[in-house]
Amino acid sequence: MQNQDKLAASQRSFFELWQSLRVGDLLPQKGDFGPKNLRSLSAWFAMLCENEHGELYISFSGTALDDIWGRNVTGDTLDDTTLKERRVRVRQFFDEVIQHPCGGFVSETFSKDSGAELLANALYLPIETEAGRKGIVSVWDVVGPGSQRHARLPRTCEIDGRLFHQATYLDVGHGVPDMASD
């Protein structure tokens, strides 16, 4: 995969796991990402799946990610966790990751009501789910106050701001789509 220099060691390990679960050009399956394979990554892991209406919802969210959101986000739709003004672009980005297929890398800063800021970098990779639907698996790398890697704040701290930095497609063997300007 190109652009691996942007990824944290845990994300490179996750990409290697994802790649090892592929059979030829076929994507890994939703069921491949259980506790046995995820091990120490599970707190920073999330899975998004398409429902029968084509909406992406969070079918699994690790405890560290729930701490960032200030609540358990499993079951929420993508819209529930995306700023209103960015929803269309975020969905386009994820649609490209799923349909192309390719990887994605997103970097943004979350501001918490406690005053802390967290730099969150997420790696997104496509998967197959049940009934021919698609989905995305991700592992996040978060740097918090004092450059503490994998920073966790109490779940009681709410997000009160987000600053988007970048979204990039990553070639996982099928090229990348053209980036539309934001």
Judged against a pLDDT cut of 50, whether residue 181 lies above it is answered with no
Strand partners, 111: 117, 161
Q: Does a structural domain hold residue 126?
A: yes
pLDDT for 116 beyond 50: yes
Q: Is residue 2 part of a domain?
A: no
- Averaged pLDDT of the chain: 87
Q: Which residues have C-beta within 8 Å of that of residue 105, sequence separation ≥ 6?
A: 3, 6, 7, 121, 122, 123, 124, 166, 167, 168, 169, 170
How many domains are contained in the chain? 1
Q: Tell me if 76 is assigned to some domain.
A: yes
| Rounded distance between C-alpha atoms, residue 104 and residue 93, angstroms | 8
Domain-located, residue 25: no
Contact 124, 104 (CB under 8 A): yes
**146, part of any domain:** yes
**Residues β-bridged to residue 110:** 118, 162
State the pLDDT at residue 56. Answer: 94
CA 72 to chain centre: 15
- pTM of the predicted model, to two decimals? 0.90
Does residue 26 sit within a domain? Answer: no
Q: Residues 51-109: pLDDT tens digits?
A: 888 899 999 999 989 888 888 999 999 999 888 888 999 999 999 999 999 999 999 99
Q: Judge whether 33 lies within some domain.
A: no
Q: With respect to residue 86, please indicate whether it lies within any of the assigned structural domains.
A: yes
Domain coverage including residue 123:
10-19+39-170
What pLDDT, in 10s, does the model give residues 17-56? 999 999 888 899 999 999 889 988 999 999 999 988 889 9
**Domain at 82, CATH number:** 3.30.450.20
